[in-house]
Amino acid sequence: MDTTDNLKLTALPSSSSSPPSSWDVFLSFYGKDTRRNFIANLYFALDQAGVQTFRDDPSLEKGEEISKGLCNAIRSSKKFVVVISENYARSPWCLDELVEILDCKRTETQVVPVFYYVNPSDLRYLKGSFREALDFHKQSYPVTKIKKWRSALAEISDLSGSTLKKDADEQYMNYIIRITILCFFLVKNRNESDTIQEIVENVALQVSTKALHLEECLFGVDSAVEKMYKKLNIESDNFCVIGIWGMGGIGKTTTAKSFFNKYSEDFDISCFVENVIQNSKGSNPLLSLLEQLLSELHRRKDYKVPDVERGKRLLKQILSSKKALVVLDDLEQSSHSELLVWICNLFSKGSRIIVTTRDVNLLYRLRVDISKVYIHKVKELSPEESLELFNYRAFRKTTPPENLRELSVKIVDYVEGLPLISKHSVTLCLVGMNEIC
């Protein structure tokens, strides 16, 4: 690590204490970029977890080249966290440190990069500050060393890690810190990559879900959400299901999303699986649904399992121990009835599942096996609500221009209270309306 701009971290053992013969974790970072926030928090959290982490040692010789003592610390470390920041490559010390770390790397999971306000592709293709740094170093260092540094930057960019963006909030920063800690928490006793992967996935379940996108103007949704909230009685430890039923385009998904955005934070874990029928097409719709569920719960795209039984076991591990909110959007009886019953029986106390469907028989079938299944029928918008919705989408106000009032009423009569058709009607009619205006 670059030791210019040294900062005392009182949460860690003092430098006068005897260093261990080996380290659990070696942290590589450029102090001026990261030390006062991300690194300080990470150091403290690792120490609280009892993880022996290598830090600055004043007894190590300082200079442009990394010392023998630092090389020994790297070679005696079990795992490495490399925090790549904008000015990391400006430090020859950091670059030599990175080369030494990668030379000592024995497995892909031994080194975890954290890309701190940088894009991995900037390292891979030498862009921005990384190109500037190496161009500057060419004036003072031989070509062979420059090539080693460039190769090391490219190699670290290809390793699986975490990316911290400039607009990341404190919660996301804490999430990366927790992942890093849990990756290394069991290094003394269990080093298998499967264990590390399992721990990382478990942490991902605890990350707050970002709000689902909804249009600005919603009519009739808030009252429906409040009715659902009363039926579900979130404070209760009882498990229950609510089925949102209605014809296509009437607002089932919008209602479910609105409920999810408002109340998902009241649960330990939550996920929203959209367009189940559409995304479950193929030879094995049950496997597709399981993979969708696991992808959403693990916050990973395209989560794959070899077969249905393996998927069921993984899902059971997650749902049986946490208060969960799961929304399954657009189910049908023929493909999903049996699996839905099975999924409902996995949930722990206090969990809730919301299902949207055009097929009310799916919900009646579910009532045979599950004691508490509430059915919420989404009603068409009233003529007044339909007109206000159409006008807002077309004109950004609830009343139309006087010369378009009659046309607006006719269009609203045509869509018969269906919000989705109203939306498409706006798109089709706007050009003609603008010409009239």
Q: Is the pLDDT of residue 116 over 90?
A: no
Residue-level pLDDT at 216? 58
More confidently predicted of 66 and 193: 66
Q: 89, 81, 93: which is closest to 23 by C-alpha?
A: 81
Sheet containing 240-245: which strands, arranged edge to edge?
269-273, 324-331, 352-357, 240-245, 373-377
- Of 21-30, 207-216, 271-280, 353-362, the one with minimum mean pLDDT is 207-216
Encode 182-221: b = buried (16+ Cβ within 10 Å), e = exposed: bbbbebeeeeeeebbeebbbebbbebebeebeeeeebbbb
The span from the CA of 293 to the CA of 119, in Å, is 29
Q: What is the DSSP letter of 388?
A: H
> What DSSP line would sit under 142-181, residue for residue?
-HHHHHHHHHHHHHHHTS--EEE-TT--HHHHHHHHHHHH
Query: Active-site residue 402, yes or no?
Result: no
- What's the mean pLDDT in 60-74? 66
The span from the CA of 160 to the CA of 175, in Å, is 16
The fraction of the chain above a pLDDT of 70, given in percent, is 63
Q: 281, 269, 388: which is closest to 321 by C-alpha?
A: 269
Residue-level pLDDT at 199? 43
Beta strands, E only, 286-401: 324-331, 352-357, 373-377
Q: Is the pLDDT of residue 240 over 50?
A: yes
Cα–chain-centroid distance for residue 170? 14
For the segment 391-412, what is each residue's pLDDT rounded down to a tens digit? 665 555 556 666 556 656 666 5
The span from the CA of 71 to the CA of 101, in Å, is 9
The span from the CA of 32 to the CA of 29, in Å, is 9
How distant, in Å, are the alpha carbons of 94, 119, 136, 160, 176 from that of 82?
10, 14, 22, 12, 13
Q: Which of 86, 97, 291, 388 is catalytic?
A: 97
- What's the mean pLDDT in 241-253? 86
Locate tokens 């030494």: which residue?
100
Task: Please give the model's pTM, rounded to 2 decimal places.
Answer: 0.51
CB atoms near residue 172 (< 10 Å): 16
For the segment 120-177, what is each residue's pLDDT rounded down to a tens digit? 989 988 999 999 999 999 999 999 999 999 999 999 998 877 777 776 666 556 666 6
The span from the CA of 166 to the CA of 192, in Å, is 33
